[in-house]
């Protein structure tokens, strides 16, 4: 079973061949979702009665935050597989995902603070959600730093795997402790970033944007993985 998997999906060559036809499909899916989400999100969806049109930032903020966490989860799964079975393709996937995840986290922070300005009257607030996203950014940066510090590719793959796993164990703890910290310090209790019982006309564009962002991640990661595979081919 493992040999079959290895032959058809896990070997670098098979991955390269299999993804050749996959890229256009991902691209189409991404474009459809993105254009639909953008258009309906910006123009069709009704304005929120509390926040007016300001809530429309949700269509870029929430998907990027979601993608940032999704990418970390993907990395952690890849790290597990790399450590247990020493599969190369997952190690490449993990190393390519890191920078993309960092970009999405940064995007979530920027859009979050742009949203915060009209809603809270300030660019930055030490709100539980923003703070934990900020910490996620630090973890991503640490990952990238470790990755660039180790020269030997095999050591690098395994070391970053361990680091990612430490991160995934820690993230829930960090998240809940930050929430507790937030209530302790009696920060402003406006939780406008969460939109409770959202109307379906507002929800569909959001779902479309979330899938667009995830597809975008897959698109970039596949392109970059193919690059890495070629790179390793050249080196050997």
Partner 1 sequence: MCIHNHQLCINDLAFKHEHYVLFSKLHQIINPGEMIQVRGHNGSGKSTLLRILAGFLEPHKGMVTWNGHCITKNREDYIENMTYIGHLNGIKSNLTVYENLRLKCTLFSSSKDLNIILKKIGLEANSQIHAQNLSAGQLRRLCLAQLMLTSAKLWILDEPNTALDDAGQSLLNTLVIEHIANKGMAVIATHQALTLTPTKTIFLGDHHAT
Partner 2 sequence: MQLNYINVFFQLTTYEIKIILRSTVAWITPHIFYVIIVCLFPIAIGHDQELLVSMAPGVIWVAALLATIISMGHLFQNDYHEGYLDLLLVSTYPLSLLALTKITSHWICHGLPLILISPLLGLMLNLSVEELYALIFTLLLGTPVLSLIGAIGAALTVAVKGNGLLLPMLIMPFYIPVLIFGTGIMIMTHQNMPVIAYYAMMGALVLLSLGFAPILTGQALKIGASR
Partner 3 sequence: MISDYGIYIWSAYSITIFILGLNIFFALREKRKILHLLKKS
The footprint of partner 3 (CB under 8 A) covers 38, 42-43, 47, 52-54, 56-57, 60-61, 64, 100, 103, 106-107, 110-111, 114-115, 117-118, 216, 220, 223-224, 226-227, 230-231, 234
Angle between helices 128-149 and 58-85 (to 10 degrees): 40
Asked if residue 154 binds partner 1 (CB under 8 A), the reply is: yes
| Least spacing, CB of residue 41 vs partner 3, in Å | 9
Q: How far is Cα 221 from Cα 66, in angstroms, rounded to an integer?
A: 16
Measured torsion, CA atoms of residues 178, 182, 185, 190, in degrees rounded to the nearest 10: 170
Q: Is 13 in the site for partner 1 (CB under 8 A)?
A: no
The smaller minimum CB distance to partner 2, of residues 85 and 138, is found at 138
Closer residue to partner 2 (CB): 35 or 73: 73
Residue 186's binding partner, choosing from partner 1, partner 2, partner 3, none, with beta-carbon cut-off 5 to 8 A by kind? none
Q: Using CB under 8 A as the criterion, what x/- string covers residues 82-121 for binding partner 2?
A: -x--------------------------------------
Q: Which of 1, 2, 121, 152 binds partner 1 (CB under 8 A)?
A: 152
Instruction: Kindly tell me the burial class for residue 208, based on how many C-beta atoms sit within 10 Å of its own C-beta (0-12, 13-18, 19 or more).
Output: buried
Q: b/e for 210-224, b at 16 or more Cβ within 10 A?
A: bbbbbbbbbbbbbeb
When CB distances are held under 5 to 8 angstroms depending on the partner's kind, the choice from partner 3, partner 1, partner 2, none that residue 231 binds is partner 3
User: CA–CA separation, 165 vs 8, rounded Å?
Assistant: 27
If the CB atoms of residues 110 and 165 are measured against partner 2, the closer one turns out to be 165
Minimum gap (Å) between residue 148 Cβ and partner 2: 9
Is the separation of the CB atoms in 150 and 156 below 8 Å?
A: yes
- Is the distance from CB of 226 to CB of 47 less than 8 angstroms? no
Q: How far is the CB of 154 from partner 1 (least distance, A)?
A: 7
Q: Report the half-sphere exposure of 30 (CA within 13 A, side-chain side).
A: 14
Closest distance of CB 88 from partner 1, Å: 11
| 116: its two tokens | 């915060």
């Amino acid at each position: 079973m493992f040999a079959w998997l290895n032959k058809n999906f896990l070997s670098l060559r098979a991955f390269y061949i299999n993804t050749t036809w996959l890229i256009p499909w991902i691209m189409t899916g991404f474009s459809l979702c993105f254009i639909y989400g953008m258009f309906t999100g910006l123009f069709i969806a009704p304005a929120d009665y509390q926040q007016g049109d300001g809530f429309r930032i949700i269509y870029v903020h929430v998907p990027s935050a979601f993608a940032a966490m999704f990418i970390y989860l993907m990395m952690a799964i890849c790290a597990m597989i790399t450590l247990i079975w020493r599969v190369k393709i997952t190690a490449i996937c993990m190393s390519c995902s890191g920078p993309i995840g960092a970009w999405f986290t940064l995007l979530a922070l920027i859009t979050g603070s742009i949203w915060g300005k009209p809603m809270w009257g300030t660019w930055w607030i030490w709100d539980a959600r923003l703070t934990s996203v900020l910490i996620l950014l630090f973890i991503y940066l640490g990952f990238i730093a470790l990755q660039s510090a180790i020269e030997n590719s095999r050591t690098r793959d395994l070391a970053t795997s361990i680091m990612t796993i430490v991160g995934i164990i820690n993230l829930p703890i960090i998240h809940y402790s930050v929430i507790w910290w937030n209530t302790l310090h009696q920060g402003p209790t406006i939780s406008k970033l969460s939109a409770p019982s959202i109307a379906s006309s507002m929800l569909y564009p959001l779902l479309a944007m979330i899938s667009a962002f995830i597809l975008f991640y897959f698109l970039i990661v596949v392109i970059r993985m193919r690059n890495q595979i070629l790179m390793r081919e050249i080196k050997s």
